[in-house]
Amino acid sequence: MADPKKPALGDVIEVRCRFCRLNLDANVSALGPDGAIVKVQCRTCRHFQDFKAPKPVEDQRAALIKKVMKIAERHTQGTSDRKTPSSTTASLTPEAVAKALWDEATKDANPLKSKIYDKHRSFGVDDLIHHKGMGLGVVREADDVSVLVLFREGFVRLPHDQPREDE
């Protein structure tokens, strides 16, 4: 009888697929002379590839948040021509207050669950949105025709739930 800890050809295991870039199930397709897994076939995309152990979900989430925040920072840089206030009054300026509110509102937010901003979509209070020019934002107020969104740069009122004119 085979050792239950040693994989056999055809066994289904969890791997990191380099093509799908996800932790997925794969079939063992080749074993080394010592019994270690050498090659696997992803059950989703069917690619044969070298075995790579799955990444922990927490590491994936942290890497994705870092990537999204870097992109959002790049998109929002240069959009304001304001000079930085002195350090003594920095905590009292509206920009500093808005930044602190934004940091608080987005500390536990998952950027992957943000909605892409479109004036034809409807948004509610506390929705996380991604605006093409202003980056990540949190909806603070919503009425029938507009929403007040807190971005890193401050508050902006945007239209929402507008009817489409293509009909």
Classify residue 137 by burial, with Cβ atoms within 10 Å: 0-12, 13-18, 19+: buried
- Inform me whether the pLDDT recorded for 53 exceeds 70: yes
Confidence class for position 3, pLDDT limits 50, 70, 90: low
Nearest to 96 by CA among 110, 111, 84, 80: 84
Give the per-residue pLDDT at 89. 47
- Inform me whether the pLDDT recorded for 87 exceeds 80: no
Do the Cβ atoms of 15 and 54 come closer than 8 Å?
yes
- Inform me whether the pLDDT recorded for 81 exceeds 70: no
Rounded CA separation 122/9 (Å): 51
Say whether pTM exceeds 0.85.
no
The pLDDT tens digits of the residues spanning 109-152 come to 888 888 999 998 999 988 899 998 888 888 989 998 899 988 88
Round the average pLDDT of the chain to a whole number and report it.
Answer: 84
